[in-house]
Structure 1
């Protein structure tokens, strides 16, 4: 009689090694900075011995780095590889994003849609102490950011309907989470060609953004500005500048999508 195979430890059943490694790395999406081995194991849903073995391999390869306190941070080698993501678009748009910053002296950024979130692929920071909600490579809910609202507004109607039907988180008490009102706001954004937010993702900051179109008329990217919330009543004055910069980026977007 053939003996039964040994039971897999809790958290190991049915998971490939690749899925476990990716789960460890994904822990840093919600918890940037250095993490302990226990935090990595808990975040990835892995037994501590399994996490210990995989983390050691990641450190050996350079994906993670171990500090003097025994905690782990994203390694330089993984960071270097990540810089190639969206590189063609980022490199092409960078000079124009710098122009946008020079003309406004406000924090300028470029974002694309990644699922239900706005993914920031480049940003130039102003010297003002604006509350920071994200960073290059960071993500924020589409409905809580100006760039995200633009990206969502120019999607097909069924995409917008599906988005609001999933439930809308509220990073602050000012975030627009009523589905009907949000859909109406998205229609207005399509008509006027820009979106604004005021303390919807972080108290003390506001933002404005416009679409960056591709040659086929789609809107795969958006550029925007973030500033202090006390400037919210003056944001619209930047619309012509934003549109001018967006028009200069559009050829790069068309090449990126081809």
Structure 2
């Protein structure tokens, strides 16, 4: 059931999915991924289109239409408040499997700033919010997500699962994920998880150019970040029982 729900989430987020992509995200053989996708087609949650790509089916589209506002719209007031407090670029990201996607953001007005990354995808382990969300998972879940090893990424500083687990222990203690020029050169980010909201695992982050670190009160920034994330959790709950983005 969990794997099928993960595929439904992937279809909703990406709009299309191949058997190879599904297998990679789930950490299963293509034959298993194909069987799961076929089941979704039978239940009309997916349809197979051109180039053997699977797309959202009538049942999934009906659910999306009947549902409430998108996550980005619901979290936008909190993202705006975080931006008002820290004055740096802020993002909302969601996790699907071992990958994160930036779904919304507000860009800083500083002359020297980090631009928006909305729509971009990266491995979770090399981003601040991704680390914060991975820290929500059990070690066995993290191992399953990275059964084939950590995906390579330019600038990566975590090279194996053992190092990732060690890093995530620190994230759990501090409630913060830190990305110091791991996702891209010259960029430092701090992120915190807001848990699962309507089945989507999400985090908020603030990001700035590394060269400006010495001019920023990081303690104040992290305090504001943690408080806003706590307010989100209080407002929406942390629906771990409905998590689908493993």
Q: TM-score, normalising length from structure 1?
A: 0.60
What residue number does 1:246 align with?
229
The 5 Å alignment of 1:1-258 reads 18-20=49-51, 22=53, 87-128=69-110, 129-130=112-113, 132=115, 135-213=117-195, 220-232=201-213, 234-254=217-237
What residue number does 1:8 align with?
none
In structure 1, what is the Cα distance between the partners aligned to 2:48 and 2:125? 35
Alpha-carbon offset, residue 172 of structure 1: 2.7
Alpha-carbon offset, residue 105 of structure 1: 1.0
Higher relative contact order (CA 8 A, sep 6+): 2
- Residues 15-67 of structure 1: CA deviation (Å, up to 9, x unaligned): x96042748x9xxxxxxxxxxxxxxxxxxxxxxxxxxxxxxxxxxxxxxxxxx
**Residues 123, 156 of structure 1: alpha-carbon distance in 2 compared, 3 angstrom cutoff:** same
**Residues 171, 98 of structure 1: alpha-carbon distance in 2 compared, 3 angstrom cutoff:** same
Q: Secondary structure at the match of 2:190?
A: strand
Q: Could you tell me whether the CA contact under 8 Å between 2:155 and 2:184 is conserved in 1?
A: no
Alpha-carbon offset, residue 166 of structure 1: 2.3
**Residues 86, 148 of structure 1: alpha-carbon distance in 2 compared, 3 angstrom cutoff:** farther
In structure 2, what is the Cα distance between the partners aligned to 1:188 and 1:247? 19
Alpha-carbon offset, residue 256 of structure 1: 7.9
Number of residue pairs the alignment of both structures matches: 183
**Residues 192, 17 of structure 1: alpha-carbon distance in 2 compared, 3 angstrom cutoff:** closer
Which has more radius of gyration?
1
RMSD between superposed Cα atoms in Å: 3.3
Unaligned runs of 5+ in 2: 1-46, 56-63
Q: Secondary structure at the match of 1:119?
A: strand
Q: Could you tell me whether the CA contact under 8 Å between 2:149 and 2:160 is conserved in 1?
A: no
In structure 2, what is the Cα distance between the partners aligned to 1:168 and 1:192? 23
**Residues 122, 253 of structure 1: alpha-carbon distance in 2 compared, 3 angstrom cutoff:** farther
Alpha-carbon offset, residue 117 of structure 1: 0.7
Unaligned runs of 5+ in 1: 1-15, 26-81
- Residues 190-216 of structure 1: CA deviation (Å, up to 9, x unaligned): 11111111110110101001121359x
In structure 2, what is the Cα distance between the partners aligned to 1:236 and 1:161? 32
In structure 1, what is the Cα distance between the partners aligned to 2:117 and 2:98? 17
